[in-house]
Amino acid sequence: MKVLIFDTVTSAVEAVADRLAGKVAGKPDCVLGLATGGTVEPVYEALVARYEAGRVRFDQTHTFNLDEYVGLEPTHPMSYHSYMARHLFDRTDFRACNTHIPHGNAADPAAEADHYERLIKGRGGIDLQLLGVGENGHIGFNEPTSSLSSVTRLKTLAPETVRANSRYFEHQSDVPQVSITMGIATILQADEIALLATGSNKAKAVRDLIEGPLSAMCPASALQLHQKTEVYIDAEAAAELSLRDYYEAVHPGGKIGHP
Ligand code: PGA
């Protein structure tokens, strides 16, 4: 695991955007795994800026999002379909037929989850997966105590996740309780992973995911089993790391490479 600590949120975000854009430049028809949430919004903004400047194009790139709320129509403003359209897809040249998000409004959501897992495999798997992390250590909607071997399935959201998401909904009763999410094993099958976490509210989750123990109580700690994971964090999110000096010596300023 590469622990990359940046002075500012902006520099961490720019590094993640460079990582994604670099992957697409090197392999235009690559398969990206994408995430939603407040943390990755500026990453999409940075990708749109690179697209508008003519530095990257996405017309051959495939995407699979991590998750979607069960029960929301894709057109619902709080659905992850809407989020992705608003922040990335409608502002760039991604082709609709190449972008995939679970259908939370499927008549049979469990069958939709199985289908989604097969779709990912059928596409040859994910080349580079972008991740955020929840304050409770979730990745996707794999809440604490999720099986570390889980695949795409239905998952009931933890109360703290429902609370965190409620800021986006007008009425508490509208906040979805169930999601379709890639599983932890699904995520671990990605060739490469880039996780972004910023802000002091993520410091504990960042410590638990990097320094362990490996535990279903912190689903993101499963990334310790993955060979090519990079964790991009700002100074605030790095605050609780016990080996921070070591990480900063290995990757000064978040630069990849050995000193
Ligand atoms: P956030 O969500 O970026 O909105 O904090 C991250 C997550 O829950 O994975």
> What distance in angstroms lies between residue 258's CA and the mean position of ligand 1's atoms?
30
Between strands 128-131 and 31-34, the pairing is parallel
Whether 258 shows a pLDDT value over 70: the answer reads no
Residue 140 backbone class (left: φ over 0; alpha: ψ -120 to 50; beta: rest): left
* 68-79 confidence digits (pLDDT tens): 999 999 999 999
Cα–Cα dist 170/164, whole Å: 13
Whether 157 shows a pLDDT value over 80: the answer reads yes
Q: Residue 256: name the closest of 194, 214, 205, 198 by CA.
A: 194
Q: Which residue has the tokens 């002091």?
A: 200
Cα–Cα dist 92/51, whole Å: 7
The pair of structure tokens assigned to 211 is 């320094």
* 210-248 confidence digits (pLDDT tens): 999 999 999 999 999 999 999 999 999 999 999 999 999
* 6-26 confidence digits (pLDDT tens): 999 999 999 999 999 999 999
Whether 249 shows a pLDDT value over 90: the answer reads yes
Average pLDDT of the chain is 97
- pLDDT band at 171; cut points 50, 70, 90: confident
Domains, the chain, with CATH or none: 2-250 (3.40.50.1360)
Q: Is 77 in the pocket of ligand 1 (CB under 6 A)?
A: no
- On whether the CB atoms of residues 181 and 155 are closer than 8 A, the answer is yes
Given this model, what pLDDT does residue 172 score? Answer: 83
DSSP lists the bridge partners of residue 178 as 156
Whether 55 shows a pLDDT value over 90: the answer reads yes
Q: Which residue has the tokens 């989020």?
A: 83
Q: Residue 153: name the closest of 195, 190, 110, 189 by CA.
A: 110
Angle at 60 between CA 37 and CA 89, to 5 degrees: 30
Q: Is 37 in the pocket of ligand 1 (CB under 6 A)?
A: yes
Given this model, what pLDDT does residue 259 score? Answer: 59
* Overall average pLDDT of the 106-135 stretch: 98
Q: Is 42 in the pocket of ligand 1 (CB under 6 A)?
A: no
* Overall average pLDDT of the 100-123 stretch: 98
**Cis before 213 (ω within 30):** yes
> What distance in angstroms lies between residue 39's CA and the mean position of ligand 1's atoms?
6
* Overall average pLDDT of the 102-113 stretch: 98
- pLDDT band at 150; cut points 50, 70, 90: very high
Q: Residue 71: name the closest of 39, 37, 35, 112 by CA.
A: 112
Nearest CA to ligand 1 atom 8: 134
Whether 165 shows a pLDDT value over 90: the answer reads no
- Report field, pTM of the whole predicted structure over 0.95: yes
Q: Is 38 in the pocket of ligand 1 (CB under 6 A)?
A: yes
> What distance in angstroms lies between residue 164's CA and the mean position of ligand 1's atoms?
9
Given this model, what pLDDT does residue 173 score? Answer: 84
Active site residues: 67, 136, 138, 143
